[in-house]
């Protein structure tokens, strides 16, 4: 397949199809992409992107990696690192150099490589790629501290490891007489200055430029995209691969600014990153030569055992002594260190350069790097979730529900869900409302759900669904719109009028269909109506269906007007009745419904009320008769 347009189309379709299939099967997407790349490249010879793309291969890969790292930097907020700042600093500044030295020694004495190749390989394997760790974290749902360490380490270590490799390569050229030592020192210092200072200045400059309205909204993302590509290329002119550090610093700078349009920019970059990660993994894996893979011998197994089971855990435990992490957190982080795109891309770049210089084992460096990448993707991809569960470092084993707005309706719903062991939290900025929820023994969060603090202190990975249930329909729609991009637009619901409810009011008073969440009830029920229902005695009930007692029998035995809200399947999956494609619950499902009291109870209340009223009348008549009798006696 030598037609580049067709090859790009196949790579794009296969990459996104792999992402979707991984989501459906609940397996790490990187594993699927790795397999597709091997099938397209070494196994079948269908394509060889390195050869087919020619001179464009290296700059395209470098630019794509820079965009991915910039997007990763946009996710790093300094406020979220308060608990783990010491650990992150030590992992990057202390553990990184230790990994470099020990891995180089392992490559030299176990892999039998030359010193130049061993040192460069040790630098490459410092990286723990964000392109791998991000999908794994999304899949594993770790608690905030270990997830924060792994995320920060992955994004910061990628450019640092690449710089280590560049410095090692340039130092080797100095030893060969190709450069002067002063040239290496000056070049490295200049690259670091441009990367750090330039990244900060450009990041702040773009923030001010956007905040003051010097660019329209539709141009902000393209401008940002162009600046990232330009800064990466300019810094690379000073020192190869130093642009990765520049764009990472830019991303972190902008992530910690107060830019109103940052969320929209981040979502655009996330979309681009998913496309780039999918394509790059297939391209880099398909570029591997079958001969290089077959050249792997028994030494690579010993090397892998040292790198994964000795060097990484040892350096992590040493560097985090006194850093405030528990043993279980250090054990998890010490095992999880997947390598990714940057390691493979930079290994290919230096492998070809070292081969031209005359180092015979340069190709073995590429093979060893690929072996580490493949082993860590498979081992860490499939063990992270079980290990986190074993160490009790997952946020929850069940999908949870975030409820915005504490009212009698939402508190009663939360209590019923809690009784079913469904994780639920109510968020409200009104203290008196929160107090009522706390008295009902419901987990609460006091504060504005749309605030920046909420995004820092609330771990949204705990929740797969959200219900906006305040007394303000417009606010409910705003909350659902804001959180829909993170939780999923099909998993956010609201009470009251919604964008989808276009038949209850005129077009002038109806919100756009792209705003708000799905209605929790059909037809929609407002805050006041639900409050009156609760006052009238409506309550939440949980009913488990069986083969004999199905969905039809459920409605036959319930008072007229009963509203099913959701049902919980035996797999603990939560399905909302108003959700798209919800279907009907089946045997084994537990329905949570909201309905009026049973007819016999209402009749009992009426009877009791009638009896009480008759007794009161009799008592009043008796007292009146007594008073009349006393008055008559007094007159006599």
> Could you write out the DSSP letters of every residue in 135-181?
HHHHHH-B-HHHHHHHHHHHHHHHHHHHHHHHHHHHHHHHHTTSS-H
> Would you say 159 and 381 are in contact if contact means Cβ atoms under 8 Å apart?
no
The Cα–Cα gap between 550 and 555 comes to: 9
Please report the pLDDT score of residue 592 as a whole number.
Answer: 93
Q: How big is the chain by its Cα radius of gyration, in Å?
A: 31
Please report the pLDDT score of residue 355 as a whole number.
Answer: 76
| Assigned fold of 400-597 | Rossmann fold (3.40.50)
Mean pLDDT by 10 residues, the chain (636 residues): 82 90 79 86 85 82 84 74 73 88 92 88 84 74 82 80 81 75 82 90 92 86 91 88 86 82 72 83 81 77 92 91 87 88 75 75 82 87 87 77 91 92 90 86 87 69 86 88 81 75 52 73 87 90 90 87 90 85 86 81 47 53 55 51
Please report the pLDDT score of residue 628 as a whole number.
Answer: 47
According to DSSP, the β-strands at 400-404 and 424-428 are parallel
Q: What letter does residue 447 receive in the DSSP assignment?
A: S
Phi, psi for 56 (deg, rounded to 5):
-80, -15
Handedness of CA 457, 262, 490, 397 (dihedral sign): negative
- Cβ neighbours, 10 Å, residue 226: 11
- For residues 78, 243, 93 and 71, what is the CA-based torsion angle, rounded to 10 degrees? 30
Compute the C-alpha angle 370/173/157, nearest 5°. 45
Compute the C-alpha angle 117/120/124, nearest 5°. 130
The Cα–Cα gap between 318 and 91 comes to: 9
Tokens of 416: 């019923």
Handedness of CA 28, 158, 164, 231 (dihedral sign): positive
Using DSSP, state whether 627 is helix, strand or coil.
helix
Closest CA to 161 of 365, 339, 418: 339
> Would you say 464 and 399 are in contact if contact means Cβ atoms under 8 Å apart?
yes
Contact residues for 441 (Cβ-Cβ < 8 A; gap 6+): 415, 418
Looking at domain 4-390, its CATH architecture is Up-down Bundle (1.20)
Please report the pLDDT score of residue 189 as a whole number.
Answer: 87
Using DSSP, state whether 82 is helix, strand or coil.
coil
Using DSSP, state whether 567 is helix, strand or coil.
strand
Tokens of 251: 């991303």
DSSP-assigned states of every residue in 492-549:
EEESSS-TT--SSS-GGGS--TTSS-EESSSS---HHHHHHHHHTT-EEEEEE--SSS
Handedness of CA 160, 188, 100, 354 (dihedral sign): positive
Please report the pLDDT score of residue 83 as a whole number.
Answer: 58
Handedness of CA 27, 381, 286, 305 (dihedral sign): negative
Please report the pLDDT score of residue 605 as a whole number.
Answer: 47
The owner of tokens 């920046």 is: 452
The strand pairing partners of 492, in sequence order, are: 466
> Would you say 120 and 168 are in contact if contact means Cβ atoms under 8 Å apart?
yes
Please report the pLDDT score of residue 500 as a whole number.
Answer: 47
Helix 527-535 to helix 408-419 angle (10° resolution) is 70
Handedness of CA 415, 419, 421, 422 (dihedral sign): negative
Using DSSP, state whether 46 is helix, strand or coil.
coil
The answer to whether the pTM exceeds 0.85 is no
């Amino acid at each position: 397949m030598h037609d580049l347009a067709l090859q790009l189309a196949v790579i794009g379709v296969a990459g996104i199809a792999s992402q979707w299939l991984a989501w459906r099967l609940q397996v790490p997407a990187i594993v699927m992409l790795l397999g597709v790349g091997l099938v397209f490249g070494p196994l079948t010879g269908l394509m060889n992107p390195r050869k087919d793309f020619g001179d464009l291969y290296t700059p395209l890969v470098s630019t794509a990696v820079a965009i991915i790292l910039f997007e990763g930097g946009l996710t790093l907020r300094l406020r979220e690192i308060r608990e783990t700042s010491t650990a992150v600093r030590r992992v990057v500044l202390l553990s990184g150099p230790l990994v470099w030295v020990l891995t180089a020694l392992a490559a030299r004495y176990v892999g039998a490589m030359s010193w130049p190749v061993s040192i460069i390989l040790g630098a490459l394997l410092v990286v723990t790629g964000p392109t791998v760790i991000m999908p794994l974290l999304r899949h594993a749902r770790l608690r905030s501290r270990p997830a924060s360490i792994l995320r920060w380490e992955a994004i910061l270590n990628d450019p640092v490891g690449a710089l280590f490799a560049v410095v090692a390569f340039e130092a080797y050229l100095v030893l060969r007489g190709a450069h002067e030592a002063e040239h290496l020192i000056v070049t490295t210092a200049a690259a670091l200055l441009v990367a750090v200072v330039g990244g900060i200045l450009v990041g702040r400059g773009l923030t001010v430029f956007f905040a003051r309205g010097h660019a329209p909204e539709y141009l902000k993302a393209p401008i940002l995209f162009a600046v990232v590509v330009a800064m990466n290329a300019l810094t690379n002119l000073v020192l190869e691969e130093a642009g990765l550090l520049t764009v990472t610093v830019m991303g972190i700078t902008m992530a910690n600014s107060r830019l109103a349009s940052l969320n929209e920019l981040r979502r655009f970059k996330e979309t681009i990153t998913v496309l780039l990660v999918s394509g790059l993994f297939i391209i880099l894996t398909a570029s591997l030569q079958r001969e290089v893979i077959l050249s792997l011998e028994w030494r690579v197994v010993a090397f892998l055992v040292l790198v994964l089971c000795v060097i990484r855990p040892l350096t992590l435990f040493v560097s985090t002594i006194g850093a405030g992490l528990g043993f279980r957190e250090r054990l998890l982080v010490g095992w999880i260190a997947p390598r990714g795109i940057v390691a493979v891309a930079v290994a290919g770049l230096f492998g070809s350069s070292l081969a031209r210089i005359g180092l015979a084992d340069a190709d073995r460096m590429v093979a060893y790097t690929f072996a580490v990448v493949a082993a860590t993707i498979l081992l860490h991809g499939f063990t992270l979730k079980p290990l986190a569960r074993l160490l009790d470092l997952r946020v929850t084993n069940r999908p949870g529900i975030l409820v915005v707005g504490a009212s009698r309706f939402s508190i009663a719903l939360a209590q019923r869900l809690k009784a079913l062991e469904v994780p639920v939290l109510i968020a409200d900025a009104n203290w008196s409302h929160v107090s009522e929820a706390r008295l009902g023994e419901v987990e609460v969060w006091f504060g504005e759900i749309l605030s920046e603090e909420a995004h820092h202190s609330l771990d949204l990975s705990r929740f797969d669904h959200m219900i906006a249930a305040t007394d303000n329909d417009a606010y409910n729609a705003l909350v659902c719109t804001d959180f829909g991009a993170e939780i999923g637009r099909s998993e956010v619901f609201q009470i009251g009028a919604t964008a989808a409810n276009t038949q209850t009011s005129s077009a002038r008073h109806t919100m756009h269909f792209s705003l708000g969440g799905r209605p929790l009830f059909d037809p929609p029920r407002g805050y006041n109506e639900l409050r009156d229902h609760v006052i009238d005695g409506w309550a939440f009930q949980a009913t488990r269906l069986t083969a004999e007692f199905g969905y039809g029998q459920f409605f036959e035995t319930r008072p007229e007007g009963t509203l099913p809200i959701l049902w919980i399947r035996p797999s603990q999956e939560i399905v909302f009745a108003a959700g798209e494609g919800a279907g009907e619950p089946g045997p084994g499902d537990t329905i949570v419904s909201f309905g009026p009291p049973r007819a016999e109870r209402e009749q009992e209340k009426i009877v009791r009320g009638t009896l009480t009223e008759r007794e009161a009348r009799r008592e009043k008549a008796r007292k009146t008769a007594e008073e009349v009798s006393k008055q008559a006696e007094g007159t006599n």
